[in-house]
Amino acid sequence: MWSRIQDKRATVTPVRSTEVQDDRIIPFSRAVAAVVIVVLVFAFIVLFLLPEQTDRRFAWTIHPSMTAMLMGAGYGSAIYFFVRVLTERQWHRVGLGFLPITVFTWMMLGTTFLHWNRFRHGSLPFELWFWIYLITPVLVPAVWLVNRRHDPGTLEARDARFEETVSRALVATGLVLVAIAAWMYLDPEGAVAVWPWGLTTLTARAIAAFVALPGVGWLAIAADGRWSAARVMIGTTAFGLVLLLIAVARSWHDFHHANVLTYVYFLGLVGTLAAIAWLWIHMLRRIEHEDAARCDPGTIA
């Protein structure tokens, strides 16, 4: 009798697992992405395209324009990410992105309350800002928690896991960025004193949230290990870096040219973009090599 019960359990469990771990993006996740895209488009237009008009069009007045454009670049790259959430069919390709976004929304909500008196209360931009960062710190992790059970955790047909050296580099980079974000958030006065362009304690904490985004992202990518799960996040980061370089070119006059961190910041953007390009090419070649080896075992080198 007990052996028959065990046999029944053994036949039922795989069916339940297959039904749940189908790697699909559920309608709830797509609906959230669609709404978020609309909000992000408006934020990108105001901050990246019209950075001098934040005194009328944003939740608080931002000076100089480089800060506004940095935030706009972050929102612009988020547009790309959530468009991919709408268009992808497999959850695991976008799922990791919700983890850094969750941390970002928590930090922005904290920044709002810590600098409450700096906002343009009673204005429509502030009302939108407040409700967005009151809802998204709960909504974004809810999407991840609800949809993550559909991820089977397996590789795609043409996929690979990161080598240990790459994973270590991702972890190291992520930890450095998270440490910088934590320092800026906990000691905004210290960040104001050394940052390569002018900040306030409010903008220092806001920028800290944007620094935490890729930091947590690299850690999440390293923890997962699948190239297919990392591609969208890496592409999002690359797009954001391109926008940031455009912002630097447009707002170069805002930088303190005698500050060595000005050039460290610029070279960091360029170097990270180059590293992403190398990683992308490296992983594609590795997958091609493994495919060729599977087709012809005698060609393994």
Task: Give the pLDDT confidence score for residue 295 in this predicted structure.
Answer: 74
The whole model's pTM is what?
0.90
Task: Give the pLDDT confidence score for residue 41 in this predicted structure.
Answer: 98
- If one compares 289 and 211, the residue with the highest pLDDT of the two is 211
Task: Give the pLDDT confidence score for residue 291 in this predicted structure.
Answer: 76
99-113 b/e with 16+ CB inside 10 Å = b? bbbbbbbbbbbbbbe
Judged by DSSP in three states, 184 sits in helix
Q: What is the dihedral of CA 101, 102, 107, 112, to 10 degrees?
A: 90
pLDDT digit string, tens, across residues 213-245 = 999 999 999 999 999 999 999 999 999 999 999
Alpha-carbon dihedral sign for residues 59, 61, 66, 67 = negative
Half-sphere exposure of 215 (CA within 13 A, CB side): 16
